[in-house]
Chain A
Amino acid sequence: MSNTILLIEDKPGLLDTVQSLLELHNYAVITATNGQEGVDLARIHLPDLVISDIYMPILNGYQLLEQFQQDEQLHKIPVIILSAKTAEDEMNLAYQKGAAGYITKPFLFTSLHEAMKKLLT
Chain B
Amino acid sequence: MPNFKTVNNNTNAEATSSLLDNTSNLIAIISHEFKTPLTAISSAADLIAAKLHIDNYMDPFYKKNISKITTEIFKLNSILDEILTMSNIISNSIEIKKELTDVHEILQELKAQYFTDRKDARTFKIKVSGTHVKILADKKQLSTIFSNLLNNALKFSNKKMPVAELKYEEHAVIITIEDDGIGIPAADIPHLFQPFYRGSNVDNIEGTGLGLHIVRNFVTANNGEIFVTSEQNQGTTFTLEFPYP
A residues near B (Cβ < 8 Å) are 11, 13-14, 17-18, 20-21, 24-25, 84-86, 88, 105-109
| CB atoms of B74 and A106 under 8 A apart | yes
Which label, helix, strand, loop or mixed, suits the secondary structure of the B interface? helix
Give residues in B with beta carbon < 8 Å to A.
32, 35-44, 46-47, 50-51, 54, 70, 73-74, 77, 81, 140
Which residue of B39, B46, B54, B70 is within 8 Å of A105 (Cβ)? B39
Which of the residues B47, B74, B77, B140 comes within 8 Å of A17, measured between beta carbons?
Answer: B47
Residues of A within 8 A of B37 (CB): 13
CB neighbours (8 Å) of B73 from chain A are: 106
* A107-B42 contact, Cβ under 8 Å, with A24-B50, A25-B50: yes
State how many angstroms separate the Cβ of B69 from the closest Cβ of chain A.
11
Smallest distance from the beta carbon of B11 to chain A beta carbons, Å? 32
Is B36 a contact of A11 with CB atoms below 8 Å?
Answer: yes
CA distance A84 to B35 in the complex (A): 6
Q: Are B35 and A24 neighbours in the complex by a CB distance under 8 Å? A: no
Q: How far is the CB of B87 from chain A (nearest CB, A)?
A: 14
Q: Known: A17-B43, A17-B44, A21-B43. Contact between A105 and B36, CB under 8 A? A: yes
Contact A108 B70 (CB under 8 A): yes
Q: How far is the CB of A107 from chain B (nearest CB, A)?
A: 7
- Per the bound structure, the CA–CA distance linking A21 and B42 in Å amounts to 12
9 pairs of residues in contact across A and B, judged by CB atoms under 8 Å: A14-B36, A14-B43, A17-B40, A21-B43, A24-B47, A24-B54, A105-B35, A105-B36, A109-B50
Number of A-B contacts (CB under 8 A): 53
- The reply to whether B36 and A84 form a contact with Cβ atoms under 8 Å apart is yes
**Residue of A18, A21, A88, A106 most packed against chain B (CB within 10 A):** A106
A24 to B46 Cα, complex, angstroms: 11
Which A-chain residue is minimally distant from B54 (CB atoms)?
A24
Closest-by-CB residue of B relative to A10 is B36
- Residues in B with CB closer than 8 Å to A25 are 50
CB distance from A88 to the nearest CB of B (A): 6
Assess the A108–B32 pair: CB atoms within 8 A: no
Contact assessment for A84 and B42 in the assembled complex, using a CB-CB cutoff below 8 Å: no
A11: chain B residues within 8 A (beta carbon): 36, 40
> For the complex, what is the distance from the CA of A117 to the CA of B42, rounded to whole Å?
21
Tell me if B40 and A24 are in contact (CB < 8 A): no
- A24–B42 alpha-carbon span in the complex (Å): 16
In the complex, A11→B38 CA distance in Å?
Answer: 12
Do A14 and B50 form a contact, CB below 8 Å, given A88-B140, A106-B77? Answer: no
Closest CB-CB distance, B232 to chain A, in whole Å?
36
Q: How far is the CB of B183 from chain A (nearest CB, A)?
A: 33
Chain B residues contacting A86 (CB-CB under 8 Å) are: 81
Cβ contact within 8 Å between B40 and A108:
no
- Neighbouring B residues of A105 by C-beta, 8 Å: 35-36, 38-39
A21–B38 CA distance with the chains assembled, in angstroms: 16
